[in-house]
Amino acid sequence: MNNKISIVLLCSLLLLGCKTPTLPSGAHKTAGEQLIAQAQKERDDAVAQLRAVQQQLDNCRESSAALEVEYGKASKQAAECRAELARMQEQVTSANAAKARAEADKAKAEADAARVAREKAEADAAAARAKAEADAAEAKRRADEMAARQKAQQDSIDNEAAKNDITLRKENFQLINASQDQTTEGYHIVVGSFSVENNANRLHTLLTEQGNQPSIARNESGMFRVIIATEPTYLEASKRVAVVRAAGYPDAWILVHQ
């Protein structure tokens, strides 16, 4: 608006300044023509300047319109960028929330797995304790039953031995002068006891010559027990004692490894 006013004022001043002067009365004709030509020139110059200014104004208008168009495009692009940024921020927020939920779900799953594993371990430990207690109880019951059977058997053997007047002894001993198939297990019928090994060897030789398979047991006290035979059970051993006594060894008795 200020530019327009300035241009109008300039044009008015130029027109006023270019007004054809009034020649004085009686002036020379050539000088008047020169003044008119000068004025005409000044007016033409002013018009040219006015046109130049008008052209500049048009150019400014075009530049302003172009700038307004560019500004509109830039504003649109800025709005689109802001919308895209808002959309990306929303996606980031959604992704962070999903990540937080996934981490929370993972932590919950791990906690549940740990709880299940702990409960299983506790259940397994309880089952193992219960099984161990049951096994121990069963082992104790079997041991008690075995001890009871052994005691009853020993009592029966002792009673039978007392009834038949058969001595039954338990000793720690090692077999010497024995065959490979003879062991310390079973009920051994002893027909002689010696503190001197040579005496035991002589009896061992005699029994061998008689067709027996004797052996010698040396106990912890250094006594040598000459064994004429071995039976797997007390009943068979007691019967064998009776036969051995009748064969000339009245002091025969039964030896059991302790």
Query: 158-174 pLDDT, tens per residue?
Result: 665 556 678 899 999 99
Closest CA relative to residue 193, chosen from 251, 256, 257 = 251
Backbone angles phi, psi at 167, to 5 degrees: -80, 135
Q: Burial level of 173, CB count in 10 A (0-12/13-18/19+)? A: buried
Taking the mean position of all CA atoms in its chain, how far away is CA 225?
67
Query: What percent of the chain stands above pLDDT 70?
Result: 84
Q: Is the pLDDT higher at 155 or at 142?
A: 142
Closest CA relative to residue 29, chosen from 41, 39, 17, 37 = 37
* Whether the predicted pLDDT of 18 surpasses 80: no
Sign of CA dihedral 61, 63, 65, 67: negative
Pseudo-torsion of CA 128, 129, 135, 139, nearest 10°? 150
Check residue 134 and give its pLDDT: 93
Check residue 75 and give its pLDDT: 87
> Order of strands across the sheet with 173-176?
168-171, 253-257, 187-194, 224-231, 215-219, 173-176
Closest CA relative to residue 194, chosen from 225, 170, 218, 169 = 225
CA–CA separation, 231 and 244 (whole Å): 13
Q: What is the DSSP letter of 193?
A: E
Q: What tokens does 71 get?
A: 């500004």
Query: What percent of the chain stands above pLDDT 90?
Result: 52
Query: 49-70 pLDDT, tens per residue?
Result: 989 989 998 888 888 888 888 8
| 15-24, 151-160, 227-236, 240-249, range with the lowest pLDDT | 15-24
Check residue 195 and give its pLDDT: 96
Q: Is the pLDDT higher at 75 or at 194?
A: 194
Q: What is the DSSP letter of 195?
A: S
| Residue 19 confidence class, pLDDT cut points 50, 70, 90 | very low
Q: Is the pTM of this model over 0.75?
A: no
